């Protein structure tokens, strides 16, 4: 059995980790870490765990936890793990971090967009960006995983096949994103109150959202060029889900002709043919958040607009599963030599 510790077990991503891992046959959760609920029963925080989880919440003592478990998930705010991580921890235990502390390879970029000093830059180069679809072999050998952000995961997987193939002009990429309110976390915020969110949709973080450099960096690796793009997120009145609609101009072929829709679609089918959790939808079917809710799936599709010579790339996923906890478990499975889908055979919920 893999012994697991979770720091931040009472946040939305932490709670989702518990829900998924309770159904994982190879896992035993040994430590439910929560600074806000120390010594309280976990099921008193999440009533859905009544008579399922009988443990109490402990503190976030990383050093003590590392002595008792095989892997630690940190579902914590930016700066938490970087402020505590040292070589002693990593020599004892594998760590999967759900924050942004080790996702961005350039320290200055991280500090600019997140507004905090990075306390553990010595581990940035070692950390593996945990998007299994592109870094599967690196994940298997890693001891520190930077679990990707929710918006970057869906954005990247929606655009990746064409970025990698070099058939779109990366300087023209525009990403329109929409997310449910759970993406903002469980903390009390006026902007997330029912009366603020219900019957409303709004953009936020316009030209300044901190997931922008993560998306640019990863698409830069895929395309082999520096990427600067527009990313605009929106808050929509639903609990879960992310919908990405991305736009870019198509390049011409070497012979000067245009790519047709069959050729563009083939790039997606080739890229994801062997991927368990990325589903390329039938032609003419647009991704919808309700068809991936509660699951680790990402649904993608693409449409060529011949009139404007642009391509519309679309993706939908559950921000708490593939966008956080599910992807973290997917990484854990690879790190411990388990089937990648172990504990993740979650059929999307409907309605």
- Residue 155 and residue 61 in one domain: no
- Residue 98 and residue 180 in one domain: no
- Residue 315 and residue 226 in one domain: yes
Q: Which one of 57, 132, 150, 154 is the catalytic residue? A: 150
Q: What residue numbers bound the domain in which 18 lies?
A: 2-126
Q: Would you say residue 164 lies in a domain?
A: yes
With beta carbons less than 8 A apart as the criterion, state whether 237 and 198 touch: yes
Half-sphere exposure at residue 222, Cβ-oriented, CA atoms within 13 angstroms: 28
pLDDT of residue 187: 81
Q: What is the mean pLDDT of residues 178-187?
A: 91
Q: Would you say residue 247 lies in a domain?
A: yes
User: With pLDDT > 90 as the criterion, what percentage of the chain qualifies?
Assistant: 97
Q: What is the mean pLDDT of residues 119-126?
A: 98
**Cross-strand partners of 311:** 248, 304
Angle ∠(292,231,349) on CA atoms, nearest 5: 10
- Residue 165 and residue 282 in one domain: yes
Angle ∠(231,233,237) on CA atoms, nearest 5: 165
pLDDT of residue 188: 76
pLDDT of residue 16: 98
Residue 154: active-site member: no
- Residue 190 and residue 116 in one domain: no
Q: What is the mean pLDDT of residues 271-288?
A: 98
Where residue 117 falls among pLDDT bands split at 50, 70, 90? very high
Q: Would you say residue 330 lies in a domain?
A: no
194-236: per-residue pLDDT in tens? 999 999 999 999 999 999 999 999 999 999 999 999 999 999 9
Q: Would you say residue 60 lies in a domain?
A: yes
- Residue 115 and residue 196 in one domain: no
- Residue 113 and residue 169 in one domain: no
Q: Would you say residue 344 lies in a domain?
A: no
pLDDT of residue 191: 85
Q: Would you say residue 141 lies in a domain?
A: no
Average pLDDT for the chain: 97
pLDDT of residue 184: 85
In angstroms, rounded to a whole number, what is the distance separating the alpha carbons of residues 302 and 290? 19
Q: Would you say residue 50 lies in a domain?
A: yes
- Residue 118 and residue 159 in one domain: no
- Residue 168 and residue 112 in one domain: no
- Residue 100 and residue 223 in one domain: no
281-328: per-residue pLDDT in tens? 999 999 999 999 999 999 999 999 999 999 999 999 999 999 999 999
Angle ∠(307,308,312) on CA atoms, nearest 5: 105
């Amino acid at each position: 059995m893999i012994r697991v510790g979770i720091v931040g077990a009472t946040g939305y991503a932490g709670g989702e980790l518990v829900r998924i891992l309770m159904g994982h046959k190879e896992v035993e959760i040994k430590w439910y870490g929560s600074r806000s609920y120390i010594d309280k029963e976990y099921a008193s925080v999440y009533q859905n765990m009544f008579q399922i989880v009988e443990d109490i919440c402990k503190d976030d003592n990383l050093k003590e936890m590392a002595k008792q478990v095989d892997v630690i998930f940190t579902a914590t705010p930016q700066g938490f793990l970087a402020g505590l991580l040292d070589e002693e921890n990593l020599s004892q235990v594998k760590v999967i971090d759900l924050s942004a502390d080790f996702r961005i390879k350039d320290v200055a970029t991280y500090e600019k967009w997140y507004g905090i000093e990075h306390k553990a830059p010595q581990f940035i180069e070692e950390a593996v960006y945990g998007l299994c679809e592109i870094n599967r072999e690196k994940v298997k050998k890693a001891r520190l995983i930077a679990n990707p952000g929710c918006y970057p995961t869906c954005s990247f997987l929606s655009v990746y096949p064409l970025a990698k193939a070099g058939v779109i002009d990366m300087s023209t990429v525009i990403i329109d994103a929409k997310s449910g309110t759970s993406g903002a976390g469980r903390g009390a915020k006026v902007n997330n109150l029912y009366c603020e969110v219900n019957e409303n949709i709004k953009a936020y973080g316009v030209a300044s959202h901190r997931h922008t450099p993560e998306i640019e960096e990863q698409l830069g690796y895929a395309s082999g060029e520096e990427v600067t793009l527009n990313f605009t997120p929106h808050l929509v009145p639903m609990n879960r889900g992310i919908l990405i609609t991305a736009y870019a101009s198509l390049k011409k072929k070497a012979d000067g002709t245009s790519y047709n829709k069959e050729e563009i679609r083939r790039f997606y089918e080739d890229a994801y043919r062997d991927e368990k959790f990325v589903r390329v939808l039938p032609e003419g079917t647009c991704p919808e958040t309700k068809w991936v809710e509660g699951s680790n799936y990402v649904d993608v599709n693409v449409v060529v607009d011949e009139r404007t010579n642009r391509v519309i790339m679309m993706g939908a996923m559950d921000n708490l599963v593939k966008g956080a906890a599910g992807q973290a478990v997917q990484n854990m499975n690879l790190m411990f030599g388990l089937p990648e889908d172990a504990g993740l055979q979650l059929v999307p919920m409907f309605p």
